[in-house]
Structure 1
């Protein structure tokens, strides 16, 4: 398993069944640094989709923070 914070996984020998808990800033930083032309709206959408896909695959939250619906 390759997680978002792969240096942490190697350091702590995390295996596939033992997924690390992430905070939203770790996920946001990863996406911002690895996605081309990442702006505020794109980052928010990607965070939402990453959260949903992770939940569908592992039946566990990617991070504990909640999303908020804002009018724009």
Structure 2
């Protein structure tokens, strides 16, 4: 048990195995248990973000200087 990782050997010593075979079986079970726990603890691998098209500056279809702002009365006349 001296060559085992601390997180494995600590969990096995509490069972006080009597034989090498029992120690190996407990070690395998503890290793599988830790592997399952790491699946839930570790974040998923980071993926590179998708390259989004960069917005381009587009000139307005109608220049702002050519837009005429109408008064309320002018709008009502045009609607009529």
Q: Which TM-score bucket, shorter chain as reference?
A: 0.3 to 0.5
Structure with bigger gyration radius: 2
Q: TM-score, normalised by structure 2?
A: 0.34
Q: TM-score, normalised by structure 1?
A: 0.37
